[in-house]
Amino acid sequence: MGRLTEAAAAGGGASAARSAGPPPAPLPLSSTSPGCAAAMASSEEDGTNGGASEASEEREAVGKRRRLGLLATIWLTFYNIAMTAGWLVLAIAMVRFYMEKGTHKGLYKSIQKTLKFFQTFALLEIVHCLIGIVPTSVLVAGVQVSSRIFMVWLVTHSIKPIQNEESVVLFLVAWTVTEITRYSFYTFSLLDHLPYFIKWARYNFFIILYPVGVAGELLTIYAALPYVKKTGMFSIRLPNKYNVSFDYYYFLLITMASYIPLFPQLYFHMLRQRRKVLHGEVIVEKDD
Amino acid sequence: MKVQSPRHWTSREFPHQVEILDAKTREKLCFLDKVEPQATIAEIKNLFTKTHPQWYPARQSLRLDPKGKSLKDEDVLQKLPVGTTATLYFRDLGAQISWVTVFLTEYAGPLFIYLLFYFRVPFIYGHKYDFTSSRHTVVHLACICHSFHYIKRLLETLFVHRFSHGTMPLRNIFKNCTYYWGFAAWMAYYINHPLYTPPTYGAQQVKLALAIFVICQLGNFSIHMALRDLRPAGSKTRKIPYPTKNPFTWLFLLVSCPNYTYEVGSWIGFAIMTQCLPVALFSLVGFTQMTIWAKGKHRSYLKEFRDYPPLRMPIIPFLL
């Protein structure tokens, strides 16, 4: 009973069919952040409660679906509008650059400040989970935002030679489209007026965007490997006082390898979410 | 000749019927006729296994409500809020493995793995170091401490601990072993490395650390013995632990789980002794996990016992 009516209610958009007021909003990045999909796979929340598939997330959502305070609603609405606008600005800047210059070389440099600002600002989403105004678990949100921060600050920002790689544009495009869709989805959900096409976009774009983004990220890290090995950046060697060592080169290799188990988990989780939200399918979850 | 008066069935003696449904699909899995009213859930589980041998009792969760709490093995049928026909809901807990097996495996690993690094078995460090020995005393001391710690744990698992649950889900053994074995290898690699740097403050630091380690090991063992004595063999009773004559148990005055307190202390001692960052990280992760367990234990003590000593904190006196 529970699932079917929830999915149906979700089908009608964030409607008053649900108990509390505006649905809790900012939920984790949907595509191109495999991060720790093992943790992810247990809950990809979204603005409507149709997404709350796994039992524990469902209970968490129900527990937190007390009436969102007015202040929280206002703040979240502002936050989501701001993020939508920010990524829109990024998208426009990228298009303009390409139209004016005809090449992707130098594109990253021209948009890097905006990218860093808005992607770093997304750290707030962890705080939203911590204080409970968003029903996602802190761990899930944390892992997803961290993987984006990692990509922006520890790869593209720090390893300058790869900034003009095509793969960078690849994941930037994927991220931009994803984030604009996601944040506008949350915004409209909060305003209780979700156009179907936004929901459709949120649950269909990822099918292409997610693999594209993952490809972009992996190719970028791969391109960075020779420079990391040569410079020994971010690495600690023995001997040292604290008897520890860290090799950033191997760390990157392990990170790349981790996409293999994590990406499919996350991808199939989103596919299941999609079937539920868009097609009202009742999916009996595996026992844990 | 004795004449027996006619037998009047009282509701207490009337044989019960038990039907078992799948908690998710509500499919009728089993119907048990003529069940003794004094039958325990354990006995019902055994009967259920007969018709569904793939679901041995340890992996059965039976409850009165599909989404409710599991019934305990000791619960008696007639004491449950059911009529003469009881409906129980079944959930498969998945493949189970005994706690003892898990503990032995997860502790034997680090013991063995650390020694591989200590003896500098080939293919770990450069070939010129194969089977060489460190020239630092602290490295030998660390090996003794680490090995002692895990031998102690193995012996406690075999002879001291009394487990309230028999089994845990099978996947836990993979998770737990990855954690213990992985960290053991990581720590052992650096401590036994040919380029290992001994502690900055030399013998002073090592002596202090060793004292902390030994005291905490003794403390941890004392607590395990005290907890064992709280619970008679074969029982699953729970009582409030109190300090005994052993001074190490006086920590019970201030914390609910002094065994965890002492455990963290041991690892802090080991970290100071080896001055090795991976050891410190292992201590931190362990501390985080034990704090979660201690808080849970503390909460269930508070729930179960009205007169629980108010001064006690879960794991760190006065603080946490």
Nearest-angstrom CA–CA distance, A41 and A49: 16
Find all residues with CB under 8 Å of A203, minimum gap 6, and list them. Answer: A270, A273, A274, A277, A278
Which chain B positions have a beta carbon within 8 Å of A1's beta carbon? none
> Is the pLDDT assigned to residue A62 strictly greater than 60?
no
> Is the pLDDT assigned to residue A50 strictly greater than 70?
no
**Whether the Cβ atoms of residue B60 and residue B92 lie closer than 8 Å to each other:** yes
Test A243 with B92 for CB contact under 8 angstroms. Answer: no
Confidence of residue A280 (pLDDT cuts 50, 70, 90): confident
Helices assigned H by DSSP within B81-136: 99-118
Sign of CA dihedral B242, B247, B249, B251: positive
> Is the pLDDT assigned to residue A141 strictly greater than 70?
yes
First to last CA, chain A: 20
Confidence of residue B6 (pLDDT cuts 50, 70, 90): low
Q: Which residue of B has its CA nearest to A55?
A: B67
Please tell me the predicted confidence (pLDDT) of residue A140: 82
Please tell me the predicted confidence (pLDDT) of residue B89: 92
Q: Which residue of A has its CA nearest to B192?
A: A243
Nearest-angstrom CA–CA distance, A277 and A207: 15
Please tell me the predicted confidence (pLDDT) of residue B132: 95
Region B91-100: mean pLDDT is 90
> Is the pLDDT assigned to residue A14 strictly greater than 80?
no
Test B276 with A242 for CB contact under 8 angstroms. Answer: yes
Which chain B positions have a beta carbon within 8 Å of A284's beta carbon? 24-25
Candidates A243, A282, A286, partner chain B, best to mutate (most B CBs within 10 A): A243
Test A243 with B197 for CB contact under 8 angstroms. Answer: yes
Q: For residue range A216-270, what is the model confidence (pLDDT) as tens digits? A: 999 999 999 999 999 999 999 999 999 999 999 999 999 999 999 888 988 888 8
Catalytic residues of A: 210, 217
Please tell me the predicted confidence (pLDDT) of residue B82: 80
> Is the pLDDT assigned to residue A2 strictly greater than 50?
no
Structure tokens at B309: 């000593």
Test A238 with B191 for CB contact under 8 angstroms. Answer: no
**Percentage of chain B with pLDDT > 70?**
95
> Is the pLDDT assigned to residue B35 strictly greater than 50?
yes
**DSSP-assigned beta bridge partners for residue B5:** none
Rounded to 5 degrees, φ, ψ at A220 are -65, -50
> Is the pLDDT assigned to residue B151 strictly greater than 50?
yes
Test B196 with A239 for CB contact under 8 angstroms. Answer: yes
Confidence of residue B8 (pLDDT cuts 50, 70, 90): low
Nearest-angstrom CA–CA distance, B302 and B310: 9
Q: For residue range B121-143, what is the model confidence (pLDDT) as tens digits? A: 999 998 999 999 999 999 999 99
> Is the pLDDT assigned to residue A17 strictly greater than 80?
no
Structure tokens at A155: 């790869």
Rounded to 5 degrees, φ, ψ at B77 are -55, -45
> Is the pLDDT assigned to residue B186 strictly greater than 80?
yes
The Cα-based distances of A231 to A226, A245, A253, A255, B210 in angstroms read: 9, 16, 16, 19, 40
Which chain B positions have a beta carbon within 8 Å of A244's beta carbon? 190, 276-278
Region B2-26: mean pLDDT is 71
| More confident site: A286 or B128 | B128
Average pLDDT, chain B: 90
| More confident site: A137 or B214 | B214
Please tell me the predicted confidence (pLDDT) of residue B76: 86
Q: For residue range B71-89, what is the model confidence (pLDDT) as tens digits? A: 888 888 888 888 778 888 9
**Percentage of chain A with pLDDT > 70?**
74
**Which range in A60-64, B17-21, B262-266 is most confidently predicted, on average pLDDT?**
B262-266
**Whether the Cβ atoms of residue A25 and residue A80 lie closer than 8 Å to each other:** yes
Nearest-angstrom CA–CA distance, A242 and A232: 19
Q: Which residue of B has its CA nearest to A283?
A: B24
Please, what is the Cα angle at A150 between A148 and A155, to 5 degrees?
115
> Which range has the worst mean pLDDT, A98-112, B62-76, B230-244?
B230-244
Residue B63's closest CA among B81, B88, B42, B82?
A: B88
Task: Give the residue carrying structure tokens 């079937």.
Answer: A275
Test A243 with B91 for CB contact under 8 angstroms. Answer: no
> Is the pLDDT assigned to residue A66 strictly greater than 70?
no
| More confident site: B7 or B160 | B160
Region B222-234: mean pLDDT is 86
Please tell me the predicted confidence (pLDDT) of residue A43: 31
Sign of CA dihedral B104, B107, B109, B115: negative
Which chain A positions have a beta carbon within 8 Å of B93's beta carbon? 287
Rounded to 5 degrees, φ, ψ at B149 are -55, -45
Confidence of residue A69 (pLDDT cuts 50, 70, 90): confident
Test B92 with A287 for CB contact under 8 angstroms. Answer: yes
Which chain B positions have a beta carbon within 8 Å of A62's beta carbon? none
Question: Residue B57 carries which DSSP code?
Answer: G
Give me the residue from B24, B94, B191 closest to A243, CB to CB: B191
The alpha carbon torsion through B155, B158, B160, B161 (nearest 10 deg) reads 120
Nearest-angstrom CA–CA distance, B58 and B168: 9
Structure tokens at A63: 């527990």
Please tell me the predicted confidence (pLDDT) of residue A285: 55
Residue B270's closest CA among B205, B201, B209, B313?
A: B209
Average pLDDT, chain A: 79
Nearest-angstrom CA–CA distance, B27 and B30: 9
Nearest-angstrom CA–CA distance, B238 and A33: 46
Rounded to 5 degrees, φ, ψ at B168 are -140, 165
Please tell me the predicted confidence (pLDDT) of residue B9: 52
Chain B: give the shortest CA distance to residue A58, in Å: 14
> Is the pLDDT assigned to residue A158 strictly greater than 70?
yes
Find all residues with CB under 8 Å of B239, minimum gap 6, and list them. Answer: B230, B231
| More confident site: A40 or A167 | A167
Q: For residue range B281-299, what is the model confidence (pLDDT) as tens digits? A: 999 999 999 999 999 999 9
State ipTM: 0.79
Confidence of residue B32 (pLDDT cuts 50, 70, 90): confident
